Structure 1
Amino acid sequence: MSEQLESTPNGECDIELISQETDTEKGSEGKKEAKIISDDKLLYRVDESPPWHICLLFGLQQLMLCIGSLATFPMIMMRVLCADDSPSVAEYRTSLIGTCLFVAGTSTILQTTFGLRLPVLQGTIIAYLISATAVLSSDDWKCPMILDLSANASSDETFNVYHENSSKFICDVATNTTISIHSDSNYYRDNDGIIRNSNEIWLRRMNEIQGAVIFCAAFQLLIGLTGSMGFLLRYIGPLTIAPTMTMITYGAIDIAVNMCGKQWGIAMFVTGLFFVTSICMGRVLVPIPRLLRYKKRWMCATTRQPIFSMFPVIFTISSGWILCYIITEAGGFSDDPSDPSYQARTDTNSDAIANSPWFRIPYPFQFGLPTFSASTILGMMAAVLPGILESIGDYNATAVVCKENPPPKHAVNRGITMEGVGVLLSALFGTGNATTSWSQNIIVIGISRVGSRRVRSSILININHLQIVGMFN
């Protein structure tokens, strides 16, 4: 490659690049492309911003990654809270999913703007789910048995069922109260001896968890604001963080196995496809057409990009859903809810859109005022330190993947403080859980090589707008 300077009438110099291609250079083009893709440099660093159309695609991938987990955790949490499948609970389930989206989006914006200022994604935490499961398995909060309200079907003498003016009532002899029966709800005798409907059962437990999470948030804010975690970093290293994160993940193995066990074929297909697209096809350069403006003329050109390594989640989830849709339409999956293949159908929640409100804005204490008890608070406090240690591990791992220096002590303290604010938002709005840094985000950064903060902030802003639309939830 040589350069030639030509003088212009204005006295300026234009640089004309004269390409001297030889057979050796032509043969080395493939090697140059391979070298570019094998380079582990980031496509976009933390402070860089991709073009708006690329940012939307990266944001869509991040959205698809977090939507699955953010929608799954509320479903699991409602089971832990003893929520059943009655129609009266369906609307609350949609509201809980929207609330989790709102809290995750707000916490991420706070973290990337005022906290650690690395592309850290905030979401629900397994440690709080495990603590809530342990607390609610006690005799005071375990799930009660459903009451059989059919005529003369029960031998329980503590209540009577009677009809009056085409309405159905329960006369609770134990508490001397009368309860109106609604057909869209089930009824239980709770552990305190009071008969409650489906929503009252799980909301009572939700309020108990809310009160405990408020104390957990206060404790985490105290640690962050006083700088205690920055002082303790000299004693916290990889040998402390790695076993803690391993044990937290180990506690969620049963949940993953139960969910994948409903349809192992689809689960293995999605896992294998992610492995193929992100690793086996990660170095494949796909030609992409584009328009360029050169000397006031539009020209058509092509560029080669590692699409499979940049968007593996989009390819994997889209392909898995399309496969399930084809098999569902072809009649390959059973329509019997007791059959394992039923869980892979794409039309199982077809009535969820019709039963959801168009717009809904979450607000504090929307599920009721929190309650407080010492046993529940102490049980949930056990999740605070594991959550903080997990976040510190994610902070350092994110810095390594983004080619940044390890976060200093004051940055870690800011990050822990902002996570404490996120936990407080979770308690006030009622997610039944808390927020922490997500390790899944680190995997996406490493594979796509995009560490831009703007991608995380923009997509979570979109989540905050989308969760307002109840149909989307």
Structure 2
Amino acid sequence: MAVKGIGDDIHFHVNDVPHFTEIILFGLQQMLVCISGLLVTPYLLSNMLCAGVETLAIRVQIIAATFVTTGIATILQSTFGLRLAILHGPSFAFLPALHTFQQNYPCTSDTDPMQWRDKMQLISGSLFIATFLMPLFGITGLIGKISRYIGPVTIVPILVLLCVGTVPDIEQKVSLHWISVLELVLLISFVVLLENVEVPIPIYSFKEKKIKTIETRIFGQFPYLLGIAIVWFVCYILTVSNLIPEGSAARTDHNESIRVLQQTPWVQVPYPFAFGFPKFNVALAFAFTASTIACMIESVGNYGFMLIFIGVFSKVSALLATIPEAIIGGVLATGMSLICGVAFANLQSIDLGLSRNLTIIGLSIILGCTIPAHFEKSTGITGNETIDDSMGTLLKMGMLVGGLIAFLLDTIAPGATRKQRGFQEETEFEIEIDVEKDGFALSSFANRAILKVPSITKLPVVPSKESIKRIEELRMKKKFGEDQIIRGKK
């Protein structure tokens, strides 16, 4: 049985090229929507380095590097990968690993602020090793095989524990100043209460040569951008009117902020090893490996040039780095709330009438909180320093502990079918999609190049030889007609 017409109501298909002005507007919108999420990790990471007065300058570098690498990753993925219209930025799945790192290397009065570079090299080197899993799982096809066994019963505890693991960071940021509560209230209002409210906005029409108004869901489309801009402006008003004391986390005139903004060059291209040659830490590498696996599992259940442009013009990064740190608390709280909501949304495909499923989910979440809490107090499991550091780091990550428990119990425990466990049933019919609308169909040039080296079609990331030939036949059929192709074959 074949089903046609899938996706006919889509405005743009994957191979369609919108008008240049539409490309600019769509890209700008996507960038503005995601830019607030890209700022959270640089803010958290720069504070973990304990760099003292250099924290803000480091934050500028990390923000610039984040924008450039996110832009490059987005371009590559949207052009050569799955080609989805999504932005590829830092994942919150790595925050628990960074939080564990912060516990092992806390910022105290005795901390040497000159050692921040060593910490950054440890983080970058360990992360570099851990993220090798992603291309390895993709090239070998392991992620496809593993995804058959990872269902909502496993994904829900992982995402819930990810949110629980960021609670200390949220509390630390929110407690800096009450302005973070205002940020949180605004974001909740925009996302929940005002999402569908259409606001008339005046624009000038060059075609009609007059000013007219258009109605748009500005609160639903740009909640984070509006929230940050409004609260940032409130902080500025409170600063110039001296309604908040000197040194407050909500002030916009910190000496370090102004100094960095003045001294940062207009153009600064991020480059590899900007913080020195990466170093390796076994415990941290294991922690990032666990986060990498969680990130891939999370994806089983996620505009470029503009981001690169902003990242290269480091004055913009320096300006963004002057956002009061207290504002980030409200942004992080709202972002993690959304992830937690997505976690619970996975429950709709699970049979919650089975005590088996409820027990596995509940047990994995409880143990995912209890076991890390115990090992944060206990040290010296085996007596070997390397093993203790590695095991201690892993066992402090509730996301890993709870996810592993849920996966093992869901895999070995009887009493439920795959459908009751939340797995999607494989369709028995074949979906026919126009080859020009098929996002997985490579260009004819690429297909001919692949067929010249047929051995590479055995890789899971490369289409099979039969699939490529079928796509080319469909293209020929559409271009010349079926009768001419049949006569040509004879």
TM-score (norm 1): 0.57
Cα distance, 1:46–1:302 mapped onto 2, change above 3 Å: farther
Computing the radius of gyration from Cα coordinates, the structure with the larger value is: 1
312-321 or 107-116, which moves further after superposition?
312-321
Residue among 337, 348, 354 paired with 2:262: 354
Q: How does 1:157-172 map to 2 (within 5 A)?
A: none
Structure 1 portions without partners, runs of 5+: 1-40, 147-187, 189-196, 395-456
1:273 and 2:186 are equivalent in the alignment: yes
Aligned partner of 1:127 in structure 2 is 93
Aligned partner of 2:176 in structure 1 is 262
Amino acid at match of 1:368: G
Amino acid at match of 2:249: Q
101-110 or 371-380, which moves further after superposition?
371-380
CA distance, structure 1, for counterparts of residue 190 and residue 172 of structure 2: 26
Aligned partner of 2:223 in structure 1 is 312
CA distance, structure 2, for counterparts of residue 253 and residue 281 of structure 1: 26
Amino acid at match of 1:70: L
Aligned partner of 2:326 in structure 1 is none
CA distance, structure 2, for counterparts of residue 118 and residue 331 of structure 1: 48
1:214 and 2:122 are equivalent in the alignment: no
Amino acid at match of 1:356: T
Aligned partner of 2:296 in structure 1 is 388
Cα distance, 1:279–1:370 mapped onto 2, change above 3 Å: closer
Cα distance, 1:306–1:134 mapped onto 2, change above 3 Å: closer
CA distance, structure 2, for counterparts of residue 232 and residue 368 of structure 1: 36
Residue among 44, 62, 67 paired with 1:101: 67
**How far has the Cα of 1:222 moved from its partner?**
0.9
Aligned partner of 1:322 in structure 2 is 233
Greater fraction of residues in helix: 2
Q: How does 1:51-450 map to 2 (within 5 A)?
A: 59-81=27-49, 83-87=50-54, 90-135=56-101, 137-138=103-104, 146=110, 198-199=113-114, 201-264=115-178, 266-287=179-200, 288=202, 291=205, 302-335=213-246, 337=247, 342-348=248-254, 349-394=257-302
Amino acid at match of 1:251: G
CA distance, structure 2, for counterparts of residue 204 and residue 320 of structure 1: 35
Structure 2 portions without partners, runs of 5+: 1-8, 318-490
TM-score (norm 2): 0.55
Q: Contact 1:213/1:380 (CA < 8 Å) preserved in 2?
A: yes
CA distance, structure 1, for counterparts of residue 106 and residue 75 of structure 2: 37
CA distance, structure 1, for counterparts of residue 226 and residue 283 of structure 2: 46
- Relative contact order higher in (CA < 8 Å, ≥ 6 apart): 1
Q: How many residues align?
A: 306
Cα distance, 1:68–1:301 mapped onto 2, change above 3 Å: closer
**How far has the Cα of 1:381 moved from its partner?**
1.9
CA distance, structure 1, for counterparts of residue 10 and residue 234 of structure 2: 33
Cα distance, 1:367–1:290 mapped onto 2, change above 3 Å: closer
Q: Deviations over 1:68-115 (max 9, x none)?
A: 34333223223323x23235x543332222112211221222222222
Q: Contact 1:292/1:301 (CA < 8 Å) preserved in 2?
A: no
CA distance, structure 2, for counterparts of residue 75 and residue 289 of structure 1: 35
Greater fraction of residues in strand: 1
Amino acid at match of 1:215: I
Q: Contact 1:290/1:303 (CA < 8 Å) preserved in 2?
A: no
CA distance, structure 2, for counterparts of residue 321 and residue 306 of structure 1: 22
SS at match of 2:205: strand
Cα distance, 1:317–1:60 mapped onto 2, change above 3 Å: farther
- Percentage of matched positions with identical amino acids: 27
